Structure formats: C-alpha cells, structure tokens
Amino acid sequence: MGVLRDMLFPSEAGMNDHRQDLKELLVRKKQQAEAAGPVDWSAVRDRWMSDLAGLCTEIRGWLGSLEREGLLTIEGGVFARVEEQLGAYDAPFLKLRFPEGEVVEVRPVARVVLGAKGRVDVTLGARRFMLFRVEPGKWELVEGLSPISTLPLTEEVFLSALFALLDGE
C-alpha cells in the first residue's frame, strides 16, 4: 500500500502526472499483448487443470500416512466451474474428513485472478487459507493480506497451515 500512498500523496518535489504514467503503462501492456498474439485459452485451461490435479496428488501424498492411520479420510471429486476466459470445465477438489466431523475442503476458486495465475482456497467453515499459483506448477501459501506475503508451498508449510486451521488459530 506504500506505493499507492506515495502516488496519491506525493511530496511537492515528487509530483507526477499519474494520468501520463497510467497511459504509458497501458501502452506498454497493449504492445506486449500484441507482440504475444492471441491467448490460447484452451491451452491455459488445460495447464490449469493439470496443475490442479498435481496439487491434489501432492496433498494426498503429504497426508497419505495420516489417512492410513485412520486419522483422516481424503475424498476427491470434480465440480463444474465457469470462467469468462476459460469457459466451462470440471475442476478437481479434495475433502479432508476428520474423526470429529470436521471437513476441510481444498477447492479451486479461479485461474484468472489478480496477482497470481490461479487461486485455491483451503477452508474449514468460515476459516480458510489461500494458495496462489505463481507460475505453472508452482504454488505459494498466502500468509498475510496486508501487505500480501507468501511462502513457497511445501509439505511443512501445508501441514502447519492445516494444523492452524484445525486448531482454530
């Protein structure tokens, strides 16, 4: 938020023409888009679905020994999603069921999100943590929102976040 604050309330010496800055940014973005050519949204959707399946497989692996001990049950499935650019698709999700009746859902929110290349929420009732796909095949756990801070998603990071979710912290 500091950058925005600096832009909105610049010092006398640092006054900028924000309209011109915005115009220059938009011109650069337009040139980049034209140079890249049209987006193949079908390929984007296919890669997104592949990464979602990979994330579900990774989480199953991290929790597999706990499931074998009878401490939780992992259920997988798909649900219908529609995104403007991607169209309709079936997104994989997980439900983690715990002995006391708690159910944690690992559910994709969207591929097209601000600040990431996809988002998955891990929820228990109203409590949640978010996973951002920062590039194909690479996920980060969102640790804080103001300002946004993330941690690379590893088994240790996921298990710690799941503990905090279940423990009510």
55 φ/ψ angles, rounded to the nearest 5 degrees: -65, -45
Residue 111 has pLDDT above 70, yes or no: yes
pTM score, whole prediction: 0.78
pLDDT tens digits for range 16-48: 677 888 888 888 888 877 787 787 888 989 999
Mean pLDDT for the chain overall: 87
Stretch among 42-51, 75-84, 145-154 having the lowest mean pLDDT: 145-154
SS3 for 117-130, per residue? Answer: CCEEEEEECCEEEE
Compute the residue count for the chain. 169
How big is the chain by its Cα radius of gyration, in Å? 20
pLDDT of residue 1: 47
Asked if residues 149 and 157 have their Cβ atoms less than 8 Å apart, the reply is no
pLDDT tens digits for range 49-68: 999 999 999 999 999 999 99
pLDDT of residue 13: 45
pLDDT of residue 169: 56
